[in-house]
Amino acid sequence: MQSSKFSIDKVRAQFPALNFKNKQQVFPIYFDGPGGTQMVQGCIDRMLEYIETGMANLHGTFSTSIKTDALLEEAKEAVGDLLNCPAEEVAFGQNMTSLAFQVSHSLRPLLKKGDEILVTQLDHRANVDPWIHLAKETGATVKWIPVDKERLVLDLSNLDALINEKTKVVGIGLSSNLTGTVSDAKRIFKAAKMVNAITIADAVHAVPHFLVDKQELGSDILFCSAYKFFGPHLGIAAIKKDLFEQLEIPKLKPAPNEIPYKLETGTQNHEAIAGLCGAIGFIEDLGSGENRRERLKSGMEAIEAHEEKLMNSLQTFLKSIPEIKLYRAPEDITKTPTFAFRTNGIHSREATKFFAEKFNLCIADGHFYASTMAEVFPVMETGGWIRIGFAPYNTLEEIEIFKKALKELLQRKT
Ligand SMILES: Cc1ncc(COP(=O)(O)O)c(C=O)c1O
């Protein structure tokens, strides 16, 4: 249900970067949401407010320290509502990748030689390599859920064999930062729980596009990154209490032993944590409801409804151009507004350079660290994929400019 509060003009007015012209005095068109969204004013305000009203380290008797303690708790409560998990399970870190490596180290004592770890071909390597590293350290074996090359979804036909009594860790991306495919993580985690495996969700590309429910998913560990949803560069981990308590995380002796603080090694980025509250507040303010979770749900629905319009427009266009090869799952599969495609005969870097220089279109190219996919589809010789990914501040008018740019690029070649 579209919230009546969603007004594209009001949304755009909250993103100062949209009004910052380049050297040629052209407004940028940000189509690299999956690489990182622009920062919302509410986030910037909270960061500035924290800095301008006095910063401090934790656990002091003086006012700015007391304020900082309260800020961290406020942010964890907000993340708890965003992900549907208790605030005490939420920890912050540098980024998702660093947190995943930290967690992978601390899972070591729970695995032994002969155990199995399951990862996927579709995922960003941040949800693959930490678990491969864990396998190397423990003698466990890595198994892969393959991608169905035709449908661009995970091929779950062999799931019963892939998840068995030896399976100890299962890492699944909720949605692909390359193709936008939303995977059936709930089904996979259910099978993993039947054999008591630890379930790990990479929600980095999911949180900006739909409401994630950690409890309903059945994930023990979930990661996301605030810079993908209008916030600062900050990693977030949510780890189920009983598992979190078991984890032996490398830490300094005087640092807290309690969850979630034991994962937060060193001093955190307090100003970014303040900004995160503003970013979550932006989603919440787009919605309505009795409590924050309800407002976040309806805010996300408003975002989804807007992004669906953008998605339909671009998809119809890309499918109509014979020189374009679109890597997109079929109609019956839920997808985020993230498109991967290639142009016949044009190197992807040449294309994005043209879009950037001539139209100030911010469009990325490459494998985006979903690099296993670039082995399955050997595309890197011609620059990998071109990726367009939307955020709530994008418009149909911006897509029209891209259509013009692409047509011009293709004409240049004929
Ligand atoms: C799906 C996905 N997972 C993980 C990551 C890694 O996140 P971070 O940059 O916070 O380490 C990214 C970053 O692009 C991503 O898109």
- Mind listing the pLDDT tens digit for each residue in 115-169? 999 999 999 999 999 999 999 999 999 999 999 999 999 999 999 999 999 999 9
Residue 154 near residue 120, CB atoms below 8 Å: yes
Domain 8-39+293-412 sits in CATH at: 3.90.1150.10
Q: Which stretches of the chain score pLDDT less than 70? A: 1-4, 413-414
Specify the pLDDT at position 2: 47
Whole-angstrom distance, CA of residue 200 vs CA of residue 67: 33
Whole-angstrom distance, CA of residue 250 vs CA of residue 252: 7
Question: Nearest to residue 216, comparing CAs of 252, 173, 185, 245?
Answer: 185
225 lines ligand 1 (CB under 6 A): yes
Question: Nearest to residue 346, comparing CAs of 390, 379, 389?
Answer: 379
Whole-angstrom distance, CA of residue 205 vs CA of residue 124: 10
Whole-angstrom distance, CA of residue 86 vs CA of residue 291: 15
User: Taking the CA atoms of the chain, what radius of gyration do you get in angstroms?
Assistant: 22
Whole-angstrom distance, CA of residue 36 vs CA of residue 13: 19
Question: Nearest to residue 95, comparing CAs of 136, 55, 126, 59?
Answer: 126
Whole-angstrom distance, CA of residue 193 vs CA of residue 168: 10
Ligand 1 centroid to Cα of residue 318, in Å, is 26
Question: Nearest to residue 95, comparing CAs of 259, 232, 255?
Answer: 232
95 lines ligand 1 (CB under 6 A): yes
Top-tier CATH class for 45-283: alpha beta
Pocket test of ligand 1: the residue of 269, 369, 372 to mutate, having most ligand atoms within 8 Å of its CB, is 369
Global pTM exceeds 0.95: yes
Whole-angstrom distance, CA of residue 310 vs CA of residue 380: 28
Beta bridge partners of 237: 91, 223
Structure tokens at 3: 């919230």
Specify the pLDDT at position 4: 59
- Ligand 1 atom nearest to CA at 369: 14
Pocket test of ligand 1: the residue of 124, 229, 368 to mutate, having most ligand atoms within 8 Å of its CB, is 124
Beta bridge partners of 326: 341
Ligand 1 centroid to Cα of residue 126, in Å, is 6
- Ligand 1 atom nearest to CA at 227: 10
H-type alpha helices, 321-364: 348-359
Whole-angstrom distance, CA of residue 127 vs CA of residue 370: 10
Ligand 1 centroid to Cα of residue 411, in Å, is 35
Q: Find how far residue 81's CA is from the centre of its chain.
A: 17
What is the residue extent of each domain of the chain?
Answer: 8-39+293-412, 45-283
- Ligand 1 atom nearest to CA at 36: 14
Closest CA to ligand 1's atom 15: 204
Residue found by looking up tokens 């060193």 in the block: 266
173 lines ligand 1 (CB under 6 A): yes
Ligand 1 centroid to Cα of residue 230, in Å, is 14
Please give the order of strands across the beta sheet that includes 167-173.
90-93, 235-239, 221-225, 198-202, 167-173, 116-120, 141-145
Ligand 1 centroid to Cα of residue 63, in Å, is 36
126 lines ligand 1 (CB under 6 A): yes
Give the largest CA-CA distance in the chain.
71
Residue 227 near residue 276, CB atoms below 8 Å: no
Whole-angstrom distance, CA of residue 227 vs CA of residue 359: 25
Whole-angstrom distance, CA of residue 70 vs CA of residue 277: 12
Specify the pLDDT at position 333: 98
- Ligand 1 atom nearest to CA at 173: 1
